A and B are shown apart, each in its own frame.
Chain A
């Protein structure tokens, strides 16, 4: 369908008034803006020297939480691995060691491929005992792909590091296992 002549609406440039035709007041206005910005504060974040202030619910590198006895909180229920859309979590479950009265299983290995992960936070949502969490660590780097496949010790180490530096995620409820394990405790 060609556009009918009656459907075309020509928009006319707004007519300039006297002061606008003189140009100078407008240029003065513009100069006020630009020169004002010269003395304004820069909005640049000079990254390596200046760390960004991330919101506490930022989804960065994972961590595995510890309970109050410094044991891994995970009960190896596989819910995170199931929920993970990127299939980056690999857990090998084993019967809980003797003396771990609050659960039946614990993870023998717990591996997250940080390169496959899409940082969606679904593992965290799925976890019934708040064992896995996303921290505000954002500068994840490594020299090889293997280095970025994090195992249990590394993930627990991130817990130690973030807890020590006081950057707990806003969702964190460290300590006792979550409500899902209460029956086992009793």
Chain B
């Protein structure tokens, strides 16, 4: 374990939160700008040059707005919900690397001493101390380095984020809010499964749930995107559902649910929900680039600089660039795919993604067990995807817009006219 230094950690936390908050602010601006460009408009361009100060104006508006609490709400939970949404989203950032990292050293094996009977502890301790000392001296671009459960921690907090939505919907005492949060809980429960399953294959290959180790594996063997494209696809789709982003934004659904769980929220409380949502998007974008796109590695480009500071900056820039790319994809996808109907959403999760992720996990286990080449998994991955497409295309599907039971025509009572 690297030594814990309160001051450094505080500075890193403060800096990271500040950066993430700025990215959130500019993500909202990017959302509006890119949406405008896609729709052949200009987008916000009045506050500051090119509208670049728009996030400040938005934030100021959220702060200065009156913040009424409707009389019919459950006050405690109503106020707790946005706080939970935001706090949990920020907590998940703690283990996500944002720059160059080195994997924590593996446990040291204790060998037998020269006499072959007693275990030689001193040598093992020596080696352990040396490895730990070397690890301690290296700069880690992550708030909490060396956390062994890494990705499980992120997932645990990611699914906790839904508590904010459910609490908000329930305590608002409003039909639309409740419907929105119910949809959200159903959606999250469904998509957590393929989300977790798609990662297990990666964890099996990297041999660790620690995100730094996963990056190190990819640096050595190639990105997981190449070996498990299907897992990446499943992960990305599930993550879109987790973040309540289009095409899976049923919990908000402005068109039919007036904003869903956000209906009764205004001013800063609404702002905190938004903050949580965008922070979640940033965390998941980081995860996608770390787990499947090689983290800070980029075909050896990350080792151009020998100077440690320049190298650290470059690694952070590479990872940040990948993250921003995924963030942009979120926005572009929003205007590309129309929203799913709720039964289609559930059908996609339970009939397609869960079986696919289970089969993919099975394939990953087989490849590991029999020591086949990593590329075998690529082939299986693509094969599974195509096979599911074929099944869907050629099986008989019941038409889903006709009534399930026979329509009984009702005769209206005859009315004499005139």
Contact = CB atoms under 8 A, between A and B. Distances in A.
Interface of A: 1-5, 8, 10-13, 15-22, 24, 27, 30-31, 33-35, 37-44, 46
B305 interface: no
A40 B34 CA distance: 12
A113 B385 CA distance: 72
A13 B399 contact: yes
A24 B393 CA distance: 14
A40 B400 CA distance: 38
B42 A46 contact: yes
B37 interface: yes
A27 B41 CA distance: 23
A27 to B, nearest CB: 6
B393 A5 contact: no
B117 interface: no
B409 A3 contact: yes
A37 B336 contact: no
A34 B389 contact: no
B255 interface: no
Nearest to B407: A5
Given A20-B393, A38-B37, 6 more contacts: A12-B399, A12-B402, A16-B393, A18-B390, A38-B34, A42-B41
> 5 tightest A-B contacts by CB?
A30-B336, A21-B392, A22-B389, A18-B393, A44-B42
A34 B400 contact: no
B335 interface: yes
B118 interface: no
Given A2-B410, A12-B401, A17-B393, A27 B337 contact: yes
B229 to A, nearest CB: 10
Contact of B337 (A19, A30, A43): A30
A2 B409 contact: yes
B392 A40 contact: no
9 contacts: A10-B401, A10-B402, A18-B389, A21-B390, A22-B386, A31-B336, A35-B332, A39-B37, A46-B42
Interface string B315-347: 000000000000000001101110000000000
A71 B26 CA distance: 61
A42 B42 contact: yes
Given A4-B409, A12-B401, A43-B40, A33 B386 contact: no
Contacts of B336: 27, 30-31, 33-34
Nearest to B34: A38
A17 to B, nearest CB: 6
A165 to B, nearest CB: 27
Contacts of A16: 392-393
A43 B401 CA distance: 38
Interface centre among A17, A19, A35 (most CB of B within 10 A): A35
Nearest to A32: B336
A4 B410 CA distance: 9
A38 B38 contact: yes
Contacts of B37: 37-40, 42
Nearest to B397: A15
Given A21-B392, A22-B386, A42-B42, A34 B332 contact: yes
A20 B397 CA distance: 15
B32 to A, nearest CB: 13
Interface in B353-396: 385-386, 388-390, 392-394
A42 to B, nearest CB: 5
A31 B41 CA distance: 18
B412 interface: yes
B411 interface: yes
Nearest to B335: A34
Contacts of B335: 34
A23 to B, nearest CB: 8
